[in-house]
Structure 1
Amino acid sequence: MHLKHLLLIATLALIAACGSKKEKEDAVDENLSETELYQQAQTNIGNNDYNAAITKLKALESRYPFGRYAEQAQLELIYAYNKTQEPEASRSAAERFIRLHPQHPNVDYAYYLKGLASFDQDRGMLSRFLPLDMTKRDPGAARDSFNEFAQLTSRYPSSRYAPDAKARMVYLRNLLAAYEIHVAHYYLKREAYVAAANRGRYVVENMQETPSVGDGLAVMVEAYQRLTLDELADTSLETLKLNYPDHPSLQNGQFVPLEEEDDNRSWLGKATLGLLERAPPLPPGETRANQDVRRMYEESRQEIRTELKQGEAAKEDVEAADRKPKRAWWNPFRLLD
Structure 2
Amino acid sequence: MALRTAPLAALLAIPLAGCSTLDSINPFGSGEKYETKILAETPASDIYDQGLARLQKKDSAGAAKKFSELDKQYPFSDWSRRGLMMQTYANYQAGDYDTAITTGKRFYQLYPNAPDAPYALYLQGMSYYQQIPDVSRDQENSAKALDLFQQIVTKYPTSEYADDAKFKIQVTRDQLAGKEMSTGRFYLNRRNYTAAINRFREVLSKYQTTRHAEEALERLTEAYLSLGITGEAQTAAAVLGHNFPDSPWYKDAFAKLQADGLSPNEDSESWISKIYRKTVG
Task: Name the structure 2 match of 1:167.
Answer: 167
Aligned letter for 1:120? Q
Cα distance between partner residues in 1 of 2:189 and 2:152? 39
The answer (yes or no) to whether the contact 2:104–2:120 under 8 Å persists in 1 is yes
Matching residue of 1:54? 64
Partner residue in 1 for 2:213: 213
Report the alpha carbon displacement of residue 254 of structure 1 after superposing the two structures with TM: 3.2
Q: What per-residue deviation string (whole Å, max 9, x for no partner) do you get for residues 99-140 of structure 1?
A: 1112212111111111011101246xxxxxxxxxx3333211
For the pair shown, the structure with the greater C-alpha radius of gyration is 1
Please say if 1:95 is aligned against 2:116: no
Secondary structure, aligned partner of 1:113: helix
- Does the residue aligned with 2:76 lie in a helix, a strand or coil? coil
Between the aligned partners of 2:251 and 2:44, the Cα distance in structure 1 is 71
Q: Please identify, of 107-116 and 194-203, the stretch whose mean Cα deviation from structure 2 is larger.
A: 194-203
1:246 shift after superposition: 3.4
How far apart, CA to CA, are the structure 2 residues paired with 1:70 and 1:253?
60
Larger relative contact order (CA 8 Å, sep ≥ 6): 2
Q: CA deviation at 1:66?
A: 3.2
Change (3 A) 1:245 1:196: same
- The 3 A distance-change label for structure 1 pair 200 and 50 is same
Query: What 5-or-longer segments of structure 2 have no aligned partner?
Result: 1-38, 258-281
Deviations 1:34-93 (A, max 9, x none): 111111111111221112111211112101113341111000111111111111111111
Question: Partners of 1:115 and 1:62 in 2: how far apart?
Answer: 26
Task: Using the TM superposition, give the Cα deviation of residue 245 of structure 1 relative to its aligned residue in structure 2, in angstroms.
Answer: 3.0
What are structure 1's unaligned runs of at least 5 residues? 1-28, 124-133, 258-337
Cα pair distance change 1:30/1:121, threshold 3 Å: farther
Identical-residue share of aligned pairs (%): 28
Structure 1 residue aligned with 2:230:
230
What is the DSSP-based 3-state SS (H/G/I as helix, E as strand, rest coil) of the residue aligned with 1:135?
A: coil
Q: Which amino acid counterpart does residue 135 of structure 2 have in structure 1?
A: T
| Structure-2 change in CA distance of 1:99 and 1:162 (3 Å) | same
Decide whether the 8 Å contact of 1:249 with 1:256 is kept in 2: no
TM-score by length of 2: 0.73
Deviation at 1:252, TM superposition (A): 8.0
Equivalent residue, structure 1, for 2:183: 183
For the 8 Å contact 2:237–2:250, the answer to whether it is kept is no
Q: How high is the TM-score relative to the length of structure 1?
A: 0.61
Is 1:145 the counterpart of 2:145 in the alignment?
Answer: yes
The residue matched to 1:191 in structure 2 has which SS? coil
| Paired amino acid for 1:135 | V
